[in-house]
Structure 1
Amino acid sequence: MSHVPSPLDAHIGFWLRFISNHVSHAFAAKVEGHGVTVAEWVVLRQLLTTGATAPSALAEGLGLTRGAVSKLVDRLCAKCLVSRTANQEDKRYQTVALTPTGHELVPKLADVADANDAEFFGHLNDDQRAMLVGLMKDVVRRHGLKDVPIE
């Protein structure tokens, strides 16, 4: 007697990926309309919270490699959204901060993120949203997941 494999849609992971792909792709298209990628948005949003910070601290806070953060910061500097400043005592150390243009853009992108959430999850009432987020946070805690999703 052979075992019948479960169908794809019997798996929670299938539904998480299905929803995530649609939510993420819609958001990516919207932020790219403002000239940034989702990964760049994540860095910009983090810098709004932390203020001027070392790239290594930024990498640690986002769960990214220093190389990945360096490339993202390079791109954001080229777009005049972020600036790098060398430490006066030790030129090897840098600080990364939002420029005035970056400070102006982050709230606009946050509104885009809020609108994207509303588009996909606005039909849920407050209790349903809290339950869904709580369940996902529980999975994150139980598995010690740390890296911030950027793609």
Structure 2
Amino acid sequence: MSPRVPELTDHLGYWLRQLSNHVSHGFARKLADKDVTVAEWGLMRMLLGREPTPPSRLAIDMGLTRGAITKLADRLIAKGFVIRAADCDDRRAQTLRLTAEGAQFVPELAALADENESECFAHLEDEDRRALRRILEQTVARLGPTRMPLD
């Protein structure tokens, strides 16, 4: 007799992926209406309230390569949301910062994130939301994520 093979739906990972896909794709659609990707939003949010920051620091903070940060920055510069400039201390180094337009746009995008979260989790009681967050944070801390979830 062969061993029982669990159904896909027997695994928590299956349900987490279903949920993650729904939440992520819903948010990506909302951002697409604003001509911004999830990764671009992530970089813009990281820059909000920061001094001009070297791409290498952003790469570390976001768990991305410096090349990925450069590509994101290039797109955001073309859209007028980010500025690249020489570092004040080392003219050979570059820094990134939000433009005034970019800084004003981030709260609008954050509102879309809040709206998406509400659409996905409004059915949960506050206690259940807190418990779910606690469980997810504990699990992520134990596994040690290597990059910011942007896709």
Q: TM-score, normalised by structure 1?
A: 0.96
1:14-93, aligned counterparts within 5 Å?
14-88=14-88, 90-93=90-93
Query: In the alignment, is the contact (CA less than 8 A) between 1:51 and 1:98 conserved in 2?
Result: no
- Residue identity in the other structure for 2:111: D
Q: 1:104 to 1:134 in 2, by over 3 A?
A: same
Structure 1 residue 51: Cα displacement: 3.5
* Equivalent residue number for residue 144 of structure 2: 144
* Equivalent residue number for residue 102 of structure 2: 102
Structure 2 residue ranges without an equivalent (≥5): none
Q: CA RMSD in A?
A: 1.1
Q: How far apart, in 2, do the equivalents of 1:29 and 1:134 lie?
A: 27
Percent of residue pairs identical: 48
Q: How far apart, in 2, do the equivalents of 1:116 and 1:51 lie?
A: 29
Q: How far apart, in 1, do the equivalents of 2:119 and 2:89 lie?
A: 49
* Equivalent residue number for residue 122 of structure 1: 122
User: Would you say how many aligned residue pairs link Structure 1 and Structure 2?
Assistant: 151
Q: How far apart, in 2, do the equivalents of 1:29 and 1:72 lie?
A: 18
Q: How far apart, in 1, do the equivalents of 2:3 and 2:135 lie?
A: 31
Q: How far apart, in 2, do the equivalents of 1:117 and 1:74 lie?
A: 29
Q: 1:7 to 1:60 in 2, by over 3 A?
A: same
Structure 1 residue ranges without an equivalent (≥5): none
Structure 1 residue 90: Cα displacement: 3.1
Q: How far apart, in 2, do the equivalents of 1:112 and 1:130 lie?
A: 21
- Residue identity in the other structure for 1:123: H
Secondary structure at the counterpart of residue 50 of structure 1: coil
Structure 1 residue 132: Cα displacement: 0.4
Query: In the alignment, is the contact (CA less than 8 A) between 1:54 and 1:93 conserved in 2?
Result: yes
1:103-143 deviation per Cα after TM superposition (whole angstroms, max 9, x unaligned): 11100000000000000001111110111011011111111
- Residue identity in the other structure for 1:103: A
Deviates more, 1:44-53 or 1:71-80: 44-53
- Residue identity in the other structure for 2:77: C
Structure 1 residue 89: Cα displacement: 5.0
